[in-house]
Amino acid sequence: MTDTKRNDVILLLVVAFFALFAPIILNPFPSDGPLAQFNAGYPDLMQRFVIYGIFAIGFNILFGLTGYLSFGHAAFLGVGSYSAVWMFKLLSMNIIPAIVLGVLISGLFALVIGFISLRRSGIYFSILTLAFAQMSYNLAYSVFTPITNGETGLQILLSDPRILDAPTGTAQPVTSLFGLEMRDTFLAFEYLGRDFQFTYGYYVCAIILLISFYISMRIFRSPFGTMLRAVKTNQNRLSYTGVNTRPYTLTAFVISGMYAGLAGALLACMDPLAGAERMQWTASGEVVLMTILGGAGTLLGPVLGAGFIKYFENILSRINDNVLEAWFAFMPDGMSDFFVVIVHPFVGKGWHLTLGLMFMAVVIFLPGGLMDGAKRIIDWVSGKNRASKRGAKAPAPAE
């Protein structure tokens, strides 16, 4: 037990280190060099890493622990965003009420949907959650436009009432935490040709991520977490022993819905816009993929998965032929053209192709997701593998 505790502290410290120094760690390449494309250390993307990380952590509390695969979690993300933006429109540009309301409303929403959906298990549960999320999406896009502003998405306008800090002047209001503006860069410096930017927004997200991660860790280690694992292992046996599992699964569902709402509210805090497509099934599918890709049921996996998908989405899609030509410019003419032609289908507008191939590669070669890969690397480095080569077993599949 103490061993687990020590490991958890180390894990938390590692996550804290990476979260706090991300603006530096994610900028390894000089900003005018050919590899600058691969830098991810700019505020918007780092915020997305962290926010989707929170989303995936929450999803993992449900899926990783209980095995219930929700295919409608994006609905809670969307509800969180809408609530937060409404808070900005009606009350104040301070992010605290927005986050609180986002978490509460999505928690309530999750309670209702969870209460109904959890009457079924397995695939029937998945389809129920999917159906609820798709209904939310379709209605938000069309009939609920007065509340959601439909296709355009809910935005902050100069004409909003905002009871606490009524608009002054004609400048677009910005989200803030007691005066610290989220988009404000408090420190920016250039060092060895690398540009580093530190914004308040990112650090707010990072700190919330650490808290979320810590809570999730506590849940994993608590008796409640053990009970959830028991549900996953054999729900029937648990029922036969007289345990009513519904309250446990429902609690897990609501908690993970609140995580999603928190992520949604944070998205709105960093960038005050809430669009309906945040609730589409593809968005629900994305968090499923993030969690599985990273390693379902592991603490850190979902965060890695979220980072992986968001990184490829934002970096690969922006590599165009000009960039490719710059990369291969050092080669002789014919050869550089050849390489441009070879790489071209996988980047820019073909970024989905690479992502699809990555999914397949990860699941084929790393049965436990990215965490499995990380574990293998650590084992290999620390030499554990050599010692236990014979007895080595594939990690237990996370279902």
Partner 1 sequence: MDAILLQILNGLDKGSAYAMIALGLTLIFGTLGVVNFAHGALFMIGAFCAVVMNRLLKLSVETIDETKTDFLGNPLKVNTPYVEAWFGEFGTTMIGYSVPLAILLAIPVMIVIGIGMERGLIKHFYKRPHADQILVTFGLAIVAQEIIKANFGANPIPQPTPDAFRGALDVGIYLGFEANAVVYPVWRFVYFIFAAVLIGGVMIFLNYTTFGMVVRAGMADRETVGLLGIDIDKRFTAMFGLAAVVTGLAGVMYTPILSPDYHLGMDFLVLCFVVVVVGGMGSLPGAVAAGFLLGILQSFSAMNEVKAILPGIDQIIIYLVAVVILLTRPRGLLGRKGVMEE
Partner 2 sequence: MSGFSMNRRGVLKSGAVLGAGLAMPTIFTSAARAYTNEPTGANVTLGFNVPQSGAYADEGADELRAYELAVEHLNGEGDGGMLNTFSSKELGGNGVNGKKVAFVTGDTQTKSDAARASAQSMIQKDGAVMITGGSSSGVAIAVQGLCQEAGVIFMAGLTHSNDTTGKDKKANGFRHFFNTEMSGAALGPILESNYGKERTAYHLTADYTWGWSQEGSMKTYTESIGWNTAAAVRTPLGAGDFSQYLTPVLNSGADTLILNHYGRDMVNSLTQAVQFGMRDKVVNGNDFVVVVPLYSRLMAQGAGDNVKGIFGSTNWHWSLQDEGSKAFVKSFGTKYGFPPSQAAHTCYCQTLLYADAAQRAGTFNPCGIVEALEGFEFDGLGNGPTLYRAEDHQCFKPVLVVKGKDNPTSQYDLLEVVDVTPTEQVMYAPDHPDFAGGDLGECNPGA
Q: Contact residues for partner 1 (CB under 8 A)?
A: 63, 67, 69, 116, 119-124, 127-128, 130-132, 134-135, 138-139, 141-143, 235, 281-282, 285, 288-289, 292-293, 296, 345, 350, 352-353, 355-360, 362-364, 367, 397-399
Q: Which of residues 138, 210, 221, 311 is near partner 2 by CB under 8 A?
A: 138
Number of alpha helices (DSSP H) and beta strands (DSSP E) in the chain: 17, 6
Q: Which of residues 1, 3, 161, 189 is near partner 2 by CB under 8 A?
A: 189
Q: Which of residues 20, 104, 155, 376 is near partner 2 by CB under 8 A?
A: 155
In degrees, to the nearest 5, what angle opens at C-alpha 95 toward C-alphas 273 and 21?
90
Quick one: which segment of 103-111, 225-233, 313-321, 376-384 binds partner 2 (CB under 8 A)?
Answer: 313-321
Q: Which of residues 142, 222, 226, 239 is near partner 2 by CB under 8 A?
A: 142
Q: Which of residues 223-282 bind partner 2 (CB under 8 A)?
A: 267, 271, 273, 275, 277-278
Identify which of residues 67 and 272 has a Cβ nearer to partner 1 in the complex. 67
């938000």: which residue's tokens? 140
Cα separation, 272 vs 277, in Å, equals 15
CA dihedral of 259, 265, 268, 270, whole degrees rounded to 10: -70
CB of 266 to partner 2, least distance (A): 13
Please report whether residue 39 would count as binding partner 2 according to CB under 8 A: yes
Burial pattern 146-178, b for ≥16 Cβ within 10 A else e, equals eebbbeebbebeeebebeeeebeeeeebebbbe
Residue 357 binding: pick among partner 2, partner 1, none (C-beta 5-8 Å cut-off by kind): partner 1
Binding residues for partner 2, how many (CB under 8 A)?
Answer: 51
Please report whether residue 354 would count as binding partner 2 according to CB under 8 A: no
Please report whether residue 121 would count as binding partner 2 according to CB under 8 A: no
SS3 assignment, position 196: strand
Cα separation, 271 vs 172, in Å, equals 13
In degrees, to the nearest 5, what angle opens at C-alpha 22 toward C-alphas 308 and 368?
30
* DSSP bridge partners of 194: 191
Stated as kind and residue range, the H or E segment containing 102 is helix 95-117
Q: Which of residues 121, 314, 336, 354 is near partner 2 by CB under 8 A?
A: 314
CB of 244 to partner 2, least distance (A): 40
Q: Which of residues 18, 29, 141, 224 is near partner 2 by CB under 8 A?
A: 141
* DSSP bridge partners of 155: 273
- Closest by CA to 162, choosing from 104, 264, 94, 82, is 94
Report the amino acid identity of residue 16.
A
Query: With the C-alpha atoms ordered 290, 296, 299, 300, is the resulting torsion angle positive or negative?
Result: negative
- List of residues contacting partner 2 (CB under 8 A): 39, 42-45, 48, 138, 141-143, 145, 149-153, 155, 157-159, 169-172, 174, 183-185, 187-192, 197, 267, 271, 273, 275, 277-278, 313-314, 317-318, 320, 322, 348-349, 351-352
